[in-house]
Structure 1
Amino acid sequence: MTSCGQTETAATGPVFPPDPDYTPYTAQPFRVAMGLLPLDLKDWIEPDAHLAADLAEKERLLAERHDEVVNIRPEAEPGSQEVLDLLAEHLPARFPRLYQRSGDELRNAVTGQSWNLAGSGLHPLDLAGRLVQEDVCLMHKEPNSEVYRLVGASVCFPTRWNLAEKMGRSLAAIHAPTPGYRERLDSSMNRYFARMRKPVWRLNWGLVDDPTLFQSSGHSRSGFNPDITADNAGDKLWLRMERQTLRRLARSQDIVFTIRIYVKPFSHLRAYPQRAAAMARALRGMPDWWRLYKSLPAFHDAVLGWLDKLGRSDAGQA
């Protein structure tokens, strides 16, 4: 069995790499920080067994709500083609049992779909977003400044944000709803983007009462949900995680930002009581303003009650 750090070959190894076991909720103590880590470029993209289903959902959204999920400005043209070129090179080399390329033809062996890279009729960034489970965003630097703006994106799986509202905005404006960003991260992130050379990645997480991948609204919900209790929270909630990557494009010098969504039933923590305890500590350590931003007040007490019951049950069996 290959590991996430190994390149799959055509003759050996599984079709899909093992699922990554991300636990961002175990980080202690709470603080507003980017939490950037070095990215090995062979791990830039993370396909898994949901590849066909996720790409089918993307195709549905692109057919029914294209203007909501794809938005591209003229400044994005050079970087968009560069992103597509990188994916067309990376995917068949890294995952030869999932993607095969012959000339300008790129085939997804899981879905059976083929794309003509030179003549699909789609914008390069639109096509790039159809190849992978990740959403793809492009940040472009204003001339003679350190300000980066969102100039192109294919975002089918937003976590409670609206693409049209973010387009053309600077980092500061995009993150304006994030508590503490302006005070703690604004100036440092502008400098970081301007000087960034090596690729990085980070994780984000939250709890949701809907497993739907496309969620363009819902941040800062404060209303209590009486249907979710300490008895049923495990079966009515989902852990939604984002794996985000940032890499500078060599030709255009734009920054491509990918967002990969993982959704797990909250109930999976029954098998991991230590992780459940870590999440309970994380939730208790959050300031109220961060809980509100994450829409946790709707079921915060129910979640803690469920996690605490899980901990007591595990202690009783020990």
Structure 2
Amino acid sequence: MHLPFEAGSFRMAMGLTAVAEADWLEADDAVPAQIATRVALIARDPDAVIAALPGTEAMQHELLEMLAAHLRLPWPACDRDPLAIVGGLVAEDFCLLRASEDGPVLVAAVLCFPARWRLAEKLGRPLAAVHAPVPFYGERLAGPVDRFLDRLQPGRIAVRLNWSVVDDPALFQPAPGPAKTGITAANAGERLFLRVERQSFRRLPRTNTIAFGIRTHVSPLARVRDAGAAARLNDAVRAMPDDMLAYKGIAPFRATLLGYLA
């Protein structure tokens, strides 16, 4: 279980860590159920979770080939949608980013577990525009992120963790729903959830594309307290600016959350 929040004053940083090839993807007990959910989403409404610009076919096939090699699966060339295959092969979502004069552009993705954003609305936009709703991103992270991705070398894999607290455990959340009612400090351990994205970055050498992977974990807040991390999360939420609390969806239940963590 990832517990990426920190005590102390609020700061916004990339927080990147280099990992070995063997650790590109995560393997845990939740993988089979998540893959089953992904397969069902793709079968039910592929246009909601898969999108690609014309001319990105080679990138998609390279991603599939690299994943198959990583998993030690023989994978002959085929005419099926490579992103649909990727979506049912691993628990990670994948976005493909292509360099441009305006920075990396989102050009293709299989996104089964969005955290309140719609793939169709972001496709074809530079990362800075994709992240425009994120408080402080433009002034603090846009430049460093673009430079990091521009310099990322083939063979290197970097990961970072992104977190929030949510009142809905659903993995597929393309838009925020109405705030849940009846959440109290007494039941917040079961009614609120820590949602963590383990984000990975690596360059596909043949097409010079960035593969941005997103593995999503959702855990009842009681597990955070059981792990001895309640005080640290309490500090992190208290230090978070109002704009970020609103963006992450924490603002409506902030007081209840702090009451539980205390």
Q: Secondary structure at the match of 2:71?
A: helix
- Kindly indicate whether the alpha-carbon contact (under 8 Å) linking 2:42 and 2:87 is maintained by their aligned counterparts in 1: no
Deviation at 1:123, TM superposition (A): 1.8
1:118-144 superposed Cα distances (whole Å, 9 cap, x missing partner):
23x4222221222000001100113xx
Q: How do 1:1-318 residues align onto structure 2 when only pairs under 5 Å count?
A: 21-26=1-6, 28-92=8-72, 101=73, 103-104=74-75, 117-119=76-78, 121-142=79-100, 145=101, 147-197=103-153, 198-218=156-176, 225-273=180-228, 275-308=229-262
Q: Distance in 1 between the 2:235 and 2:7 partners? A: 10
| Larger relative contact order (CA 8 Å, sep ≥ 6) | 2
- Kindly indicate whether the alpha-carbon contact (under 8 Å) linking 1:225 and 1:299 is maintained by their aligned counterparts in 2: no
Segment of structure 1 superposing worse, 197-206 or 23-32: 23-32
Q: Distance in 1 between the 2:139 and 2:31 partners? A: 39
Q: CA RMSD in A?
A: 1.7
Q: Distance in 1 between the 2:83 and 2:10 partners? A: 36
- Kindly indicate whether the alpha-carbon contact (under 8 Å) linking 2:167 and 2:179 is maintained by their aligned counterparts in 1: no
1:76-115 superposed Cα distances (whole Å, 9 cap, x missing partner):
22221111111111112xxxxxxxx3x44xxxxxxxxxxx
What's the TM-score once normalised by structure 1's chain length? 0.78
Q: Which runs of 5+ in 2 are unaligned?
A: none
Q: Distance in 2 between the 1:50 and 1:262 partners? A: 9
Q: Distance in 1 between the 2:174 and 2:166 partners? A: 13
AA partner of residue 282 (structure 1): A
Q: Which runs of 5+ in 1 are unaligned?
A: 1-20, 93-100, 105-116, 309-318
Deviation at 1:68, TM superposition (A): 0.8
Q: Secondary structure at the match of 1:127?
A: helix
Q: Distance in 1 between the 2:175 and 2:157 partners? A: 29
Aligned-residue sequence identity (percent) comes to 42
Deviation at 1:267, TM superposition (A): 1.1
Q: Distance in 1 between the 2:8 and 2:63 partners? A: 35
Deviation at 1:235, TM superposition (A): 1.4
CA change 1:272–1:255 in 2 (3 A) is same
Question: Who wins on radius of gyration, i.e. which is larger?
Answer: 1
What's the TM-score once normalised by structure 2's chain length? 0.93
AA partner of residue 68 (structure 2): A
Q: Distance in 2 between the 1:137 and 1:181 partners? A: 19
Deviation at 1:29, TM superposition (A): 3.2
Q: Secondary structure at the match of 1:244?
A: strand
AA partner of residue 174 (structure 2): S
CA change 1:296–1:82 in 2 (3 A) is same
